[in-house]
Structures are given as C-alpha cells and as structure tokens.
Amino acid sequence: MHEKIVLTGIDGNPLTVESNIPYSPKRTCGACHDYERIANGYHFQQGRTDGARKIVIRDRFDQKYPWNLSSGMYGRH
C-alpha cells in the first residue's frame, strides 16, 4: 500500500478536490520514483503510435478533456 500523497499540477502546486486541471505524474511521483523509466514503459506509451508505429497523438483529440492526447492511455492519466 502506498502512503498518502498530495497530487500536484504541472506548476508543482497542490491540487484540491474541486480542481478541474489534470495532475502531473512527473511533479507528483517524480520526487520519489524514476519518472523517466515509468514514462517510457508500455502502458504509459500505449496509444502513442498506430500499428505502423506512426505517432497518432494530437492536442485536440478530445475537446472536453484536452489532456487526452490519444485513443490509448498516452496522455490520458
């Protein structure tokens, strides 16, 4: 079980329960974990490329949730 942590945004500031901005895994987890190793893992990269290994991410993938960058997990969590 992981101890309780404070989720932080891209600016490093703590997020509140009411916050509607995404948390930053790099800022939240990177202080204690090898963020580069995690960020290059299979599940983190899933959806970044198609079957031909062409990058298919785009900033406007989901207008309602602009941090979703692909149909997979890439950019989603």
- CA pair distance 42, 39, nearest whole angstrom: 9
pLDDT of residue 13: 94
Which tokens go with 40?
Answer: 């290059």
pTM, entire model: 0.54
pLDDT at 8: 95
User: What per-residue confidence (pLDDT) applies to 62?
Assistant: 74
Query: What's residue 74's pLDDT?
Result: 63
CA atoms of 27 and 14, how far apart (whole Å): 10
**How far is 72 from 46, CA to CA, in rounded Å?**
5
Average pLDDT of adjacent 10-residue blocks, the chain of 77 residues:
92 93 90 86 72 74 74 63
Contacts 24+ apart (CB under 8 A), 1-9: 5/29
Q: Is 5 helix (H, G, I), strand (E, B) or coil?
A: coil
